[in-house]
Chains A and B, each alone.
Chain A
C-alpha cells in the first residue's frame, strides 16, 4: 500500500489528533483522580485537615489529602443512589421507546405513502432542536399544569391534568429526551430498511409470506446491525443528558449522575466530592461501555 516514507509522514499526520485527544482524555482524568483524593472546597479555604497528614498542602486553596473520604461521602449520599437510578431509568426508557418506536415508525415510513419526504422531515425535526429549547418548550408550553397544551388535551378528554414536574419529573424528562432520540432511531433504521433489496421484498410478497414472518425472518435480521449502532450511540449520549434536567430545574428529583457532579462542583463548590463523583461516573460509563461493546462487538465487525 504505502512506502515507509508515506507511513512515516502518516505518523506525523495522525500525531496532532492523537496527542490532542490523548491529552483531552488523560489530563482531566488524572486531575480529577487527584482532586478526588483531596479535601478541596472553593468556598471553604480552611478545611479541617488532619495534622497527621504529612502531605498537607499549604497552597492558597488550602487543599489537603483526604484519602478515600470523598468517595465515602459521595457513595453514601442518598442523592448518589437516586442519581444512578435516574441515569439508568432515563437510558432504559428512552432506549426502549426509541428502538421499538423507531422500528415501527421506520416500517411505516417505508410503505408507499404520499408525501413521504415531508413526513420524514417532520419526524426528524426534533433531533435538531437544541436541548435547552426542547426543555423549556416542553416544561412550559406543553407540560405546564394549568396553561400547557397537554393540560388542555387532558381536560378535553375529561382527565385530571398532571403537574408533570411536581409529580412525575422523571416521566417528563423521559418524554422530552425520547422525543429527541426517537427521530434519530427512526432515521437510522429507515435508512437501513431502504437498503433492503427491493427484489427481496418483492420475492417475499410473491411467496405470500405473512407479514409477521416476513418481518421476523427478513427485516429484523437486516436491522440487527443498525439497531446495535443505535443502542450504542444513544447510550453514550443518554448517559450524559444534562441540559434538560438543568434547565427544567428538576435536578432535585430527576437528577442523574452528570447533574449530581455538576451540583457538587459548580454549585456546592466541593471540588473533592465532585471529582470523586466524576470518577465514579467514568467507572460506571466504562462498565456500561464494556458490556455494550462486547454485546455488539460481533455485530459491528466487518
Chain B
C-alpha cells in the first residue's frame, strides 16, 4: 500500500510563503512527477511529505494515517537525494544495510535483503567498495538500493538524475521505470526537466510558485494545458504564444508549405536534427515562430514559407492566462 493524500498543505519559511496550499491525492502504485522551474518549491513539497520539514498548515495522510506530526523515520518512506547523500565512511554493503540495521532486523535477513537489492541493481561486485570509489551512475544505484531494501510505502526522488551525463541519464531513467514496474510501488519523482516528466510519469503535477498549476497524465497536459504556464512548460520545442498571450500553437501543429497557407513568414534559422528540422520563422506582425518540419526541409534562411495551424490544435487563453475551452 502507498497512498498519500495532501490536504491543503502549506509551507512558509519565516514570512516567505513557499507553498500557499496544495491538495493532492497520490494513488497506490502510481508514478507521479512534480515538475516545475527551479525554485518553485518542488523539493520543499517533497521534503514536507518526507517529514524533513514541518508543515506550516494542512495535513498529510499516508495510507489513511495522519502523518503530519510523524518524524521521517515513522512514515515508512524512502528518499533518493539529488546529491545521493551516501554515507561516505561506509561500504556499499553497509550503506544499503544501514536502514535495516536501524530497524533492528536480524543479521542473516539483512544480508539476504542486501544481496537481493544488489543483484537487482548490478551492484554485487561493488559491495565492499566505498562510495568514493564508484562512478556517478553506480553511486546513484547505491542510493536507490538503499531506498528499496526497506520496502517503503513510497519512494521519493529529488532530481536523482541531474548529476549524471546525458547518456547515463537516459539509461537510468529506463532503469527507474523498470524498477517501478517490478516493485509496483508508489513513486514521487521531482524534476525540472519536462522531458523526464513526460516520459516517466503516470501523472504529472506542474508546480508554479508553489501552486499546483495542473495535475494530469502527460498527454492530458500536452493536449489540454489549463494555463499559459503549463502550455509553455510542457512540450519541446516550446509552444508558440501569439497575439498578446491569447493564442498558443505547438511547433509540430503547424503545417508547412512553400506555396500557400494561412500565415506567411521568412525563415531566419534552420536547426537540422536529421529526423526533424526546426525552423525559426519571422511571421511579421505575429512575431517569431518555431515550426517543426518532419525530416529535411528544403527552404533555408531567407526563404519564404507559409504555415497553417492544424484544426483543433489552437489553444486560447484569457487575460489571466487560463485556458478558454
Are chains A and B touching directly in their complex (CB below 8 angstroms)? yes
Map CB proximity to B onto A1-15 as digits: 1 under 8 Å, 0 otherwise. Answer: 001110000000000
Of the listed stretches B46-54, B86-94, B162-170, B291-299, chain A binds B46-54
Closest B residue to A4 by beta carbon equals B54
Closest A residue to B48 by beta carbon equals A3
* CB-contacts of A1-56 with B (<8 A): 3-5
Top 7 closest pairs, chain A to chain B, by CB? A3-B54, A4-B54, A5-B71, A3-B53, A3-B52, A3-B51, A3-B71
A-side contacts of B71, CB under 8 Å: 3, 5
Interface size on B (CB < 8 Å)?
A: 5
Interface majority SS on A: helix, strand, loop or mixed?
helix
B279 CB → nearest A CB, Å:
45
> Could you tell me the distance between the alpha carbons of A4 and B11 in the complex, rounded to whole angstroms?
13
Chain B interface residues toward A at CB < 8 A: 51-54, 71
Interface majority SS on B: helix, strand, loop or mixed?
loop
B-side contacts of A3, CB under 8 Å: 51-54, 71
Q: How many interface contacts (CB-CB < 8 Å) are there between A and B?
A: 7
A-side contacts of B52, CB under 8 Å: 3
A90 CB → nearest B CB, Å:
46
B-side contacts of A4, CB under 8 Å: 54
A-side contacts of B53, CB under 8 Å: 3
Chain A interface residues toward B at CB < 8 A: 3-5
A-side contacts of B51, CB under 8 Å: 3
B312 CB → nearest A CB, Å:
49
Closest B residue to A1 by beta carbon equals B53
B289 CB → nearest A CB, Å:
45
Closest B residue to A5 by beta carbon equals B71
B-side contacts of A5, CB under 8 Å: 71
> Could you tell me the distance between the alpha carbons of A4 and B68 in the complex, rounded to whole angstroms?
12
> Could you tell me the distance between the alpha carbons of A5 and B54 in the complex, rounded to whole angstroms?
9
A185 CB → nearest B CB, Å:
36
> Could you tell me the distance between the alpha carbons of A4 and B54 in the complex, rounded to whole angstroms?
7
B113 CB → nearest A CB, Å:
28
> Could you tell me the distance between the alpha carbons of A5 and B51 in the complex, rounded to whole angstroms?
10
| Pairs A–B under 8 Å by Cβ, sample size 7 | A3-B51, A3-B52, A3-B53, A3-B54, A3-B71, A4-B54, A5-B71
Closest B residue to A6 by beta carbon equals B71
> Could you tell me the distance between the alpha carbons of A179 and B52 in the complex, rounded to whole angstroms?
52
A262 CB → nearest B CB, Å:
48
> Could you tell me the distance between the alpha carbons of A5 and B52 in the complex, rounded to whole angstroms?
10
Closest A residue to B52 by beta carbon equals A3
A204 CB → nearest B CB, Å:
37
> Could you tell me the distance between the alpha carbons of A96 and B54 in the complex, rounded to whole angstroms?
53
